[in-house]
Amino acid sequence: MRGASWEIRSFLLVSGVIVSCFLLVLLYLAQATAVSAAGYEAQRLAAQRDELRRQNALLVIESARLDSPGRVETEAQRLGLVRAATIGVVVPEAVAATR
Amino acid sequence: MTATISHTRLRVLFAFFAFASLLLSARLAYWQTVGRADLLSRATDQVHSDLVVAAQRGVIRDRNGAILATTVELRSLYAIPALMTDRDGKDLKPTVAATLAPILGEKAEVLRAAFESGAEWLFVRRRLPEDTAARIAALHLAGLGFEMEPKRLYPNGAVGAQVLGFVNDDGVGQYGVEGRYATELSGTPGRLVVARDPANRELALGLRTAVPAKNGDDLSLTIDLAVQNAVERELAAVVEREKASGGTIVVLDPKDGAVLAIASSPTYDPARVGAADAEALRNRAISWTYEPGSTMKAITVAAALDKGVITPTTSYQDVGYAVIGGRKLCNAQCKVYGPTTVTQILARSQNAGAVFVASKLGAADLNAYLKSFGFGQRTGVDLSAETTGIVRPLAEWYPVDLGTISFGQGLSVTPLQLASAYAAIANGGTLYQPYVVASRRDADGEHRTAPVAVRRVISEETSATLVTMLTATVDNGIANAAALKGYSVAGKTGTAQIPSDEGRYVDDAYISSFAGFVPAIDPRMVVVVVLEKPQSKLLGTVPAMNTFKAIATDALRYARVQPDRP
């Protein structure tokens, strides 16, 4: 009877160890899967970030193109604008003398 | 008995499992220790990818931060013809070609022929404009895909092309700043080794070794985009009006040698370098030389004034020519002026007068001053392909050379050399090394370029005297067309003959130029305008002066320089 009890306890102990190991492996797999999924999500977000940066760079270039003095001049001519013939300049000394 | 059998079975079963576990553990321990490297190697070979991470090429900006050149990733369209089928296996190549043709501006037959050429994989178009790529992507055509490729973009088109240079298809900088600073701009590529799944996605728990790329340095130039634009506009206009074969304009800040603008005609569009001929790629301001003609008289007079052998009022009797080394050198059209001061020599641009001044100075001193002003040697400007020009060694001078060189014949200069020399006259006598890159920004921060004062070439007193004389040349002399309302201008015209391959001068063709600075006192810019073979011929200096005036008007307004005259 004592022998049977020992064997049952041993059996239960080994079974318990095996089940624990199994659960530990399951836990590890669950974590690994979660990390992998998070990794894929991080990659997707990184790709999205890179694409937004690229789109931003394209907009910066478009802005530079629109600001280009050559384009502005052409556009001004198209609108019928002309250069000012003269530009009045106020001399500070003359202004100061009147005060 | 039953219990005994049961116990025996249990023991056997237990022993079996214990042995099996031991065996598995041993095997596992083996693969985890002794066989680990082999397993890792085999697994790595299957899933790892080893990529070169391209470094981002640096951005080039003007002095106010406007972008002149930058790099972006654009989509290149590729095709895998074998995948151009529908679910039933029907060939879709003709359909794909017909759909793509109008978007790409290509004939459908050409695209179809490419798809049916037998290639497994081919580029249809590289580095597409973003809107075009987006239109194609939206069609979801079978067998087509996109790959990102870097492209150098120049948002101002051809403006500044000769200064900037370009980047070839291999990503290597050529000419200009792109060529001269190729190493700094390109950076250092990195490396990325990662484990990937069958869908080519990076495994978060996999192997990852990354050496980050070091991006190229950003450069800020001394170039002012607004001035550069005005200079290129005026050069293109005068070259067209005068039907000139070429031309160049240099604008310098005389205070430190900073290059504000350089234009050269013919020129090219950096976005379409393939369509440009070799001559258009040459920056004539630094890679082309010419006999400067009468603009050199200012240098001759500067040398003689500085040496103390003349004063502005030193006079001689002009008979229309001078005899030197047994040769008779005439004024333009052999005009006779009679009693003439040195100031009048410049104001009237008298060749015989320049010979008179040079004779007072002597060949050795003239040669020494030419070298001191930087002629016959590179200025050291930080652009690719600068040439030296020619000032022959004194030992090779014939007696007549003293005379001809005094008015700019028998030597050759680059327009930038002449601008640097005039900058030295304008700033009080110091020759500065011209420079284009004002600062470089890398991971450590900004590194500003310190202006380099090469040497003092004339005294401040000589400089002031010569400025007065050159101002008189514009106010009352031959360069009057360069006079600007509200501003004092100092300068000198030049008309040079063009040497032929036979050692003679080309008939009836000239190089017309004007070199000047404004305002004459406390100058903000030196401008050199050179026109090759203008149709105005001997009167070609007039369009050169008009061009100077137009540029100066724009640039002074833009820089808000207050008029120094009523």
Suggest the residue from A89, A90, A91, A95 to mutate for an interface test with chain B (most B CBs closer than 10 A): A89
The token pair at B112 is 């179809």
- Per DSSP, the three-state class of B58 is coil
When CB atoms are compared, the residue of A36, A42, A54 closest to B205 is A36
Shared domain for B169 and B270, answered yes or no, is no
pLDDT bucket at B5, cuts 50 / 70 / 90? low
- Assess if residue A46 is contained within a domain: yes
Q: What is the pLDDT of residue B384?
A: 87
Question: Which residue type sits at B266?
Answer: P
- Assess if residue B109 is contained within a domain: no
pLDDT, mean over chain B: 92
- What is the CATH classification number for the domain harbouring B163? 3.90.1310.10
Taking contacts as CB-CB distances below 8 angstroms, the residues of chain A near B66 are 64, 67
Segment A39-64 mean pLDDT? 93
- Assess if residue B178 is contained within a domain: yes
Shared domain for B234 and B151, answered yes or no, is no
CB–CB contact A61 B67 (8 Å): yes
User: By the 8 A CB rule, do B221 and B62 touch?
Assistant: yes
Suggest the residue from A43, A56, A65, A68 to mutate for an interface test with chain B (most B CBs closer than 10 A): A68
**How far B500 CA lies from chain A's nearest CA (Å)?**
38
State which of A29-43, B47-61, B229-243 shows the largest mean pLDDT: B229-243
> Nearest Cα to B351, choosing from B297, B422, B411?
B297
Segment A67-96 mean pLDDT? 86
Q: How many CB pairs under 8 A join A and B?
A: 77
Chain A residue with CA closest to B65: the answer is A64
Q: What is the pLDDT of residue A96?
A: 81
- Assess if residue B15 is contained within a domain: no
Taking contacts as CB-CB distances below 8 angstroms, the residues of chain B near A69 are 156, 159, 225-226, 229-230
Percentage of chain B beyond pLDDT 90 is 77
- Assess if residue A77 is contained within a domain: yes
Q: What is the pLDDT of residue B36?
A: 87
Taking contacts as CB-CB distances below 8 angstroms, the residues of chain B near A17 are none
Residue B289, CA distances (Å) to B383, B394, B416, B515 in order: 16, 20, 10, 15
pLDDT bucket at B50, cuts 50 / 70 / 90? confident
- Assess if residue B464 is contained within a domain: yes
CB–CB contact B486 A89 (8 Å): yes
- pLDDT greater than 50 at residue B1: no
- pLDDT greater than 80 at residue B403: yes
User: By the 8 A CB rule, do B188 and B55 touch?
Assistant: yes
Shared domain for B59 and B189, answered yes or no, is yes
- Assess if residue B410 is contained within a domain: yes
CA dihedral B211, B213, B214, B217 (to 10 degrees): 180
Segment B479-499 mean pLDDT? 93
CB–CB contact B233 A73 (8 Å): yes
CB–CB contact A10 B14 (8 Å): yes
Segment B125-143 mean pLDDT? 93
When CB atoms are compared, the residue of B11, B73, B557 closest to A54 is B73
CB–CB contact A64 B156 (8 Å): yes
- Assess if residue A96 is contained within a domain: no
CA-based R_g, chain A, Å:
40
Shared domain for B328 and B288, answered yes or no, is yes
Shared domain for B237 and B362, answered yes or no, is yes
Shared domain for B453 and B533, answered yes or no, is yes
Shared domain for B319 and B397, answered yes or no, is yes
| Residue B39 backbone phi and psi in degrees, to 5 | -60, -45
Q: Which of A76-80, B158-162, B192-196 has the lowest mean pLDDT?
A: B192-196
- Assess if residue A60 is contained within a domain: yes
- pLDDT greater than 80 at residue B537: no
Q: What is the pLDDT of residue B48?
A: 78
Shared domain for B471 and B529, answered yes or no, is yes
Shared domain for B459 and B529, answered yes or no, is yes
Shared domain for B284 and B169, answered yes or no, is no
Residues 6+ away with beta carbon under 8 Å from B237: B547
> Nearest Cα to B221, choosing from B172, B271, B262?
B262
- Assess if residue B117 is contained within a domain: no
The count of structural domains within chain B is 2
Q: What is the pLDDT of residue B8?
A: 82
Segment B513-541 mean pLDDT? 93
> What does the longest C-alpha to C-alpha distance in chain A come to?
125
User: By the 8 A CB rule, do B519 and B488 touch?
Assistant: yes
Q: Is A73 on the interface with B (CB under 8 A)?
A: yes
Q: For residues B230 and B246, give the distance between their C-alpha atoms in angstroms, rounded to a whole number.
A: 17
- Per DSSP, the three-state class of B150 is strand
- Assess if residue B8 is contained within a domain: no
Chain A residue with CA closest to B3: the answer is A4
Taking contacts as CB-CB distances below 8 angstroms, the residues of chain A near B486 are 89
Residues 6+ away with beta carbon under 8 Å from B382: B177, B180, B181, B435, B436, B437
| Residue A79 backbone phi and psi in degrees, to 5 | -85, 0
- What is the CATH classification number for the domain harbouring B274? 3.40.710.10
- Structural domain of residue B458, as residue ranges? 225-558
User: By the 8 A CB rule, do B377 and B371 touch?
Assistant: yes
Active site residue B294: yes
- pLDDT greater than 70 at residue A1: no
Segment B389-413 mean pLDDT? 95
Q: What is the pLDDT of residue B479?
A: 95
Q: What is the pLDDT of residue B532?
A: 94
- pLDDT greater than 60 at residue A73: yes
- Structural domain of residue A69, as residue ranges? 2-84
Q: CA B375, B376, B380, B386 torsion: positive or negative?
A: positive
pTM given for the model? 0.85
CB–CB contact A73 B155 (8 Å): no
- Per DSSP, the three-state class of B450 is coil
Identify the bridge partners of residue B510 per DSSP, sorted by sequence position. Answer: B497
Catalytic residue among B220, B264, B265, B294: B294
Shared domain for B196 and B235, answered yes or no, is no
State which of A5-14, B10-19, B31-40, B290-299 shows the largest mean pLDDT: B290-299
CB–CB contact B70 A14 (8 Å): no
Q: What is the pLDDT of residue A69?
A: 93
- Assess if residue B28 is contained within a domain: no
**How far A27 CA lies from chain B's nearest CA (Å)?**
16
CB–CB contact A70 B201 (8 Å): no
The count of structural domains within chain A is 1
Q: What is the pLDDT of residue B162?
A: 94
